[in-house]
Chain A
Amino acid sequence: EPEVTQTPSHQVTQMGQEVILRCVPISNHLYFYWYRQILGQKVEFLVSFYNNEISEKSEIFDDQFSVERPDGSNFTLKIRSTKLEDSAMYFCASSAGTVPIRGQFFGPGTRLTVL
């Protein structure tokens, strides 16, 4: 079965550094998402992306965050100047349409640790 993949699996960075988290969504999917899960807390929506633009974003997704689909396969999340509170598991997800019969498919996540 096709899968969403993410790299790296674990990223450690210093506060104030920029990080780019990478995702390869399922190939025929058109909608892409980023979620995060701080340790011990709920999964939280960050942003959704369709047709090369952001379709929705949450309050968490401030000016420090950006997303991009640089080519036909990758979908990236950039955090410009990381803060300690950005430490979390970041999940990428994709879906075939706006009303996906099988929900959104999640990748394995990237654990971001900001020191």
Chain B
Amino acid sequence: EDKVVQSPLSLVVHEGDTVTLNCSYEVTNFRSLLWYKQEKKAPTFLFMLTSSGIEKKSGRLSSILDKKELFSILNITATQTGDSAVYLCAVRDNAGNMLTFGGGTRLMVKP
């Protein structure tokens, strides 16, 4: 059974801080890892990673995958209050299209 573990469970920072969120996984026949941001309701897509060592970047957010050590990190620099959300990591294996989610990291950014 595929397993995804995120850490920390929650994090409180101040605006301007940099945060690193972690996601480790155990997946048979790994295909891809995805990061989502969940504010009030729907998870919104951030990144999809398939190859080790290649950083994906979007503004202040970046993510990288290590397929040897089976983890990914999501970095947010110069955090803003609008970054407050639950960040979800999910993995997909080669067996199909289903995503297996981790429990999420709840980030709170204080002014």
In the bound complex, residues from chain B placing their C-beta under 8 Å from that of A98 are 97
Closest chain-A Cβ to B27's Cβ sits at a distance in Å of: 14
Whether A43 pairs with B88 at a CB distance below 8 angstroms is yes
Chain B residues touching A, range: 20 to 34
Bound CA span A33–B102, Å: 18
Q: How many residues of A contact B (CB 8 A)?
A: 28
Q: Is B25's beta carbon under 8 Å from chain A? A: no
- Look across to chain A and name the residue whose beta carbon is closest to the beta carbon of B43: A106
User: Scoring B residues 85 to 111 as 1 if CB is less than 8 Å from chain A, else 0, what string do you get?
Assistant: 000101000011111111110000000
In the bound complex, residues from chain B placing their C-beta under 8 Å from that of A100 are 48
Q: Is B68's beta carbon under 8 Å from chain A? A: no
In the complex with contacts A103-B36, A103-B45, A108-B41, A48-B103 CB distance below 8 A: no
Bound CA span A44–B95, Å: 17
Could you tell me which A residues sit within 8 Å of B by CB distance?
Answer: 4, 31, 33, 35, 41-45, 48, 55-56, 58, 89, 91, 95, 98-109
